[in-house]
Structure 1
Amino acid sequence: MDDEREHDPDSPEGRGASAAVLPAGPPDTGRRGLDRRRVLGAAVEYIDQHGLGALTMRRLGAHLGVEAMALYRYVPGRENLLDGVVETVIDELYGDPDVHMQAQHGWQDFLQRLAHGVRRIALAHPEVFPLIATRPPAAPWLRPPLRSLRWLETFLDALLAAGFSDEAAVAAYRAYSSFLLGHLLLEVSHRGVKISPEDEPEGGAADATADLEQHPTIDRLEPLLSRDESAAEFEESLETLIERLGRVLEESSARSARRSTS
């Protein structure tokens, strides 16, 4: 599994374990250098290391070397902290050199790059990704994981400039979001991350030791079933989605042409 991740260009292992969040650094004896950005970076770091369920204001304060009350100057409470964590992680897209803010080489290339950027975030912060998927967005029509107004504006502008109609561009956003959310939630859950409070922490281990004597076909194919093909599956599914959106664009252009000649 580790070898497979090292060869996955989107994984932290494949990227040299790089991460874009501001690390907490060594604990302080006071509030030297403490600000909202550092607090949120420390919260992401803490969740990465210990899981979302372990995060409290007291523990985050200890992680930073300050009293919990010192954090309330920068984050009014846990809910505001969690919203800030989501924003901080999504903002990593802006620092990803392989993700473009404009469709410089066509809309297909733009969507490919953006999708892999979101996947890199999910693999770098698997414990945070379910939070990205479940926190209430700023507007009810914003869909995770691409839940930033700035990114939505960029996404829609890229498709509209390519010839998508308003309806087709919005439909593409919905299909694209559903693809990313479904695939990446499944991928992080395979890595042992709890997607919901009802998930059993030991569920994966129990399944791995299941008695397969009554299921000979599964027993024979278990090595293949256990193989991590996440990177290839993501790429193939993304290509299929983009091909389907290409057909949507053709149909949208054809309808526009018919209206202009009628």
Structure 2
Amino acid sequence: MKDHDTPGAGGTTAVTPVAGPGPGRTGLDQPRILGAAVRFIDENGLRELTMRRLGAYLDVEGMALYRYVPGREALLDGVVETVVDELFGDPDVHLEARAGWADYLRRLAHGLRRIALAHPEVFPLVATRPPAAPWIRPPLRSLRWIESMLTVMTSAGFSDEAAAAAYRAFSSFLLGHLLLEVSARGVEAGLDAVPTGDLSAYPILRRMEPHLARDGAAQDFEEALEALLDRVTLLLPPPRAVDLR
């Protein structure tokens, strides 16, 4: 796997595509079904996903899927796991800190953003699906990645309490920013759109509307991420004074 010095900032090319239906593909297994479910949601939206429609998408009877996936709820859990696991195929994201904890978190944040932008119709499911334990916070809801992050932070000198606080802050930052970003692309994310209405009585809003409507998501993400890392740095214990006597 090729290494990179800096994490990718905005594209989605590093995300490994999931498998979908294709000519000449025979037989069913759980990975193929889950990969097809991700592609179905990407193309049609989450509301359209049913076992019957997914079966038709795979050119099989919907009942045939139940041998591998017990039902729609298990299917949705599998979709979330499949999408989050794309981090393992992202060459810019590492399970260990190769250049310090801040670089590790930058890479992880950009990897999760690439997933959200590659699968905007799926990401609200990643964000809102009930986790297996109450302390697991989306969107980083993989036990292996949570273990990786906490290992990196504690190895860098953060106390257990500070590392847990950093995990909570990191998760909250990503969840809020990425949900807003995918909802701005027209994806249903549980955020009801508010009609703008007539701006004639609001001269400042009317004047500033072009600035407010500017797509600055990537820059906002970078600035907010750096501000978060600055705050996390404050959780580190102060360096010990060196006695030069």
TM-score (norm 2): 0.90
**1:156 corresponds to which residue?**
150
Q: Quick check: 1:167 aligned with 2:156?
A: no
2:209 to 222, 228, 240: 222
Q: Which whole-Å CA distance do the structure 2 matches of 1:10 and 1:72 have between them? A: 38
Q: Which whole-Å CA distance do the structure 2 matches of 1:237 and 1:123 have between them? A: 18
**1:3 corresponds to which residue?**
none
Give 1:1-262 correspondences, 5 Å limit. Answer: 9-12=9-12, 15=13, 19-26=15-22, 32-196=26-190, 203=193, 206-207=195-196, 210-249=197-236, 252-253=237-238
Q: Which whole-Å CA distance do the structure 2 matches of 1:135 and 1:46 have between them? A: 18
Instruction: Report the AA paired with residue 62 of structure 1.
Output: A
- Secondary structure at the aligned position of 1:113 is classed as helix
Q: Which whole-Å CA distance do the structure 2 matches of 1:11 and 1:53 have between them? A: 26
- Secondary structure at the aligned position of 2:94 is classed as coil
1:73 deviation in Å?
A: 1.1
Q: Which whole-Å CA distance do the structure 1 matches of 2:206 and 2:10 have between them? A: 31
- Secondary structure at the aligned position of 2:28 is classed as coil
Q: Which whole-Å CA distance do the structure 2 matches of 1:27 and 1:47 have between them? A: 20
Q: Which whole-Å CA distance do the structure 1 matches of 2:48 and 2:129 have between them? A: 17
1:19 deviation in Å?
A: 4.9
1:54 deviation in Å?
A: 0.6
1:232/1:103 CA distance change after superposition, 3 Å: same
- Secondary structure at the aligned position of 1:119 is classed as helix
- Runs of 4+ in structure 1 deviating by more than 6 angstroms, as ranges, are none
Instruction: Report the AA paired with residue 157 of structure 1.
Output: T
Conserved? CA contact 1:83–1:135, under 8 Å = yes
Instruction: Report the AA paired with residue 22 of structure 1.
Output: V
Conserved? CA contact 2:15–2:89, under 8 Å = no
Q: Which whole-Å CA distance do the structure 2 matches of 1:109 and 1:11 have between them? A: 18
Instruction: Report the AA paired with residue 231 of structure 1.
Output: A
1:154/1:115 CA distance change after superposition, 3 Å: same
**Structure 2 gap ranges (5+):** 1-7
Conserved? CA contact 1:27–1:63, under 8 Å = no
- Secondary structure at the aligned position of 1:48 is classed as helix
Conserved? CA contact 1:44–1:128, under 8 Å = yes
**2:5 corresponds to which residue?**
none
Instruction: Report the AA paired with residue 112 of structure 1.
Output: R
**CA deviation vs aligned residue, 1:158-180 (integer Å, no higher than 9, x gap):** 00000000110000000000000
**Structure 1 gap ranges (5+):** 1-7
Q: Which whole-Å CA distance do the structure 2 matches of 1:85 and 1:253 have between them? A: 43
Conserved? CA contact 2:15–2:87, under 8 Å = no
1:221 deviation in Å?
A: 1.1
**Bigger relative contact order, structure 1 or 2, given CA contacts below 8 A and separation 6+?**
2
1:136 deviation in Å?
A: 1.2
1:21 deviation in Å?
A: 3.4
TM-score (norm 1): 0.84
Q: Which whole-Å CA distance do the structure 1 matches of 2:67 and 2:141 have between them? A: 26
Q: Which is richer in helix?
A: 1
How many percent of aligned residue pairs carry the same amino acid?
A: 62
